[in-house]
Amino acid sequence: MFGRKGQGAMEYLMTYGWAILVVMIVGIVMWQLGIFNMGGTTVTATGFAKIKPQLAATGFSRIGQPIMVFTNGVGTTVTMRSGKIIDDGATGSSCTLTSAMFVPRGVPAGANSRLSGAPTNCIRNGNAGEVYNARVSLTYVVAIGGVSTTHTESGSIRGPYE
């Protein structure tokens, strides 16, 4: 009498267990095929500690031109010197940023500096909505008490072409 109850419970668990496993496998396959992708990719940045990109005003045009605004989180005025953008994609293209491209060059604590006149083709060209991955390196100078020190800030920016 006790054996029949156990057998019924096992049959129940096995039947529904296999059904749940099949549904999970189908769901994972559909997710990997991109069926659930609604086209919404946001701009994200990692690795930046003191000079941070403003994500709402940061990205790349379809011709690979950077559109970037950086916020000074150092705590004192910094002078932007240079930078480099490297495509993390298959092309590995890159471009160099000069001090003249940062407006303003001298950035007070908490203020923003934007790129102006940056070159095109810093990263590969893409269609609106496609995703790019770029490594950004910025060099800046901090002058405190008459002593100037040069620092480098770097990180990655990922998001859709605009």
Q: What is the pLDDT of residue 100?
A: 92
DSSP state letter for 101: G
Q: What pLDDT is stored for residue 2 in this prediction?
A: 57
Find all residues with CB under 8 Å of 141, minimum gap 6, and list them.
78, 79, 81, 148, 149, 150, 151
User: How high is the pLDDT of residue 140?
Assistant: 96
pLDDT average per 10 residues of sequence, the chain (162 residues): 69 87 93 72 89 91 89 94 87 86 94 90 84 92 92 92 84
Q: Please count the CA atoms within 13 angstroms of the CA of 156 that sit on its side-chain side.
A: 8
pLDDT at 132: 87
Q: Give residue 4's pLDDT.
A: 65
Give the C-alpha distances (Å, rounded to integers) separating 153 from 7, 135, 137.
65, 11, 6
